[in-house]
Structure 1
Amino acid sequence: MFFNMKVAGRIDEIQILNSLLESENSEFLAVYGRRRIGKTYLIRQVYEKHIIFDSSGLHEKNIDQQLENFWLDISRATKSNTLQPQTWLQAFSLLKAYIDTLKSKQKKVIFLDEISWFETPRSGFLAALDNFWNMYCSKRTDIVLVICGSAASWIINKVINNRGGLHNRITKQILLRPFDLKETKAFLEMNHVKLVLKDIIQLYMCVGGVPFYLKDIVPGKSVGQILDTLFFNKNATLKNEFENLYASLFKNSHLHELVVKALASKSKGLTRNEILEATKMSSGGGFTNILNELTACGFVTQVFPINKKKEESLYRLVDEFTLFYFKFFGNSDYTGSNFTNKPSFKSWSGYAFENLCLKHVFQIKKTLGIQGIISRDYSWISPDSTAQVDMVIDRDDNVINLLEAKYYQTEYEMTQQYAEQLERRKHIFINATKTKKNVFTTMISIHGVKANAYYLSTVSNQITAVDLFV
Structure 2
Amino acid sequence: MTFYDRGDELAALETAFESTGHEFYVVYGRRRVGKTELLKEFCADRPHIYFLAAQEAETRQREKFVETIAEYFDDRIPRIDGWDEAFDYLGEKLATEQCIIVIDEFPYLVGENGSLPSYIQSFVDEQLRDTESMLVLCGSSVSTIESEVLGHESPLYGRRTGQIDLQPFSFQQAHDVIAYGIEDAIRSFAVTGGTPMYLTRFDYDQPLGENIRTQILSPTAVLYNEPEFLLRTELRNPARYLSILEAVATGQTTPNEIAGRTGIDSGPLSKYLQTLRRLRLIERDVPVTASPKQSKRSRYRVADEFLRFWFRFVEPNRSGIEEAPNVVYDGTIEPNLPDHVATTFEDVCQEVVWEAIRQRALGPYSEVGRWWYGEDEIDIVGLAPDDNRILLAECKWTTDPVGHSLVSQLREKAERVRWGPDTRDEEFALFSKSGFVDGLADGLGDRWSLFDLTAIDGCLSSGS
If the TM-score is normalised by the length of the shorter chain, which range does it land in?
A: 0.7 to 0.9
1:254-276 deviation per Cα after TM superposition (whole angstroms, max 9, x unaligned): 55444433322336x325x7656
Say if 2:130 is the partner of 1:139: yes
Q: 2:157 is matched with which residue: 167, 177, 181?
A: 167
Query: 2:254: which partner in 1?
Result: 270
Gaps of 5+ in 1: 189-193
Q: 1:154 is matched with which residue: 144, 148, 151?
A: 144
Structure 1 position 224, deviation (Å)? 1.2
Residue correspondence of structure 1 range 60-79 to structure 2 within 5 A: 61-79=56-74
Say if 2:89 is the partner of 1:100: no
Query: 1:47: which partner in 2?
Result: 43
Structure 1 position 422, deviation (Å)? 2.4
Q: 2:378 is matched with which residue: 383, 389, 393?
A: 389
Residue correspondence of structure 1 range 394-413 to structure 2 within 5 A: 394-395=383-384, 396-408=386-398, 412-413=400-401
Residue correspondence of structure 1 range 121-270 to structure 2 within 5 A: 121-122=112-113, 124-140=115-131, 142-188=132-178, 194-250=179-235, 253-254=238-239, 256-266=241-251, 269-270=253-254
Distance 1:34 1:54 in 2: 20
- The TM-score normalised by the length of structure 1 is 0.84
Structure 1 position 27, deviation (Å)? 1.2
Distance 1:437 1:180 in 2: 32
Are the aligned partners of 1:51 and 1:111 in contact in 2 as well (CA < 8 Å)?
Answer: no
1:304-335 deviation per Cα after TM superposition (whole angstroms, max 9, x unaligned): 44246334333322310111011111533764
Instruction: Give the letter for the 1:428 counterpart.
Output: R
- Count of residues paired in the alignment: 445
Say if 2:337 is the partner of 1:350: no
Say if 2:305 is the partner of 1:320: yes
Structure 1 position 235, deviation (Å)? 2.5
Are the aligned partners of 2:288 and 2:381 in contact in 1 as well (CA < 8 Å)?
Answer: no
Which segment is superposed worse, 219-228 or 196-205?
A: 219-228
Structure 1 position 145, deviation (Å)? 0.9
Are the aligned partners of 1:27 and 1:143 in contact in 2 as well (CA < 8 Å)?
Answer: yes
Instruction: Give the letter for the 1:170 counterpart.
Output: R
Query: Tell me, what secondary structure is at the counterpart of 1:315?
Result: strand
Instruction: Give the letter for the 1:353 counterpart.
Output: F
Which segment is superposed worse, 16-25 or 122-131?
A: 122-131
Q: 2:354 is matched with which residue: 362, 366, 371?
A: 362
Query: Quick one: percent identity of the two aligned structures?
Result: 23
Are the aligned partners of 1:37 and 1:211 in contact in 2 as well (CA < 8 Å)?
Answer: yes
Distance 1:361 1:301 in 2: 21
Structure 1 position 208, deviation (Å)? 0.6
Structure 1 position 112, deviation (Å)? 0.6
Query: 1:460: which partner in 2?
Result: 448
Instruction: Give the letter for the 1:231 counterpart.
Output: I
Inter-CA distance 301–9: structure 2 relative to 1 (3 Å threshold): farther
Distance 2:236 2:360 in 1: 43
Please, what is the CA RMSD of the aligned residues?
A: 3.1
Inter-CA distance 252–74: structure 2 relative to 1 (3 Å threshold): farther
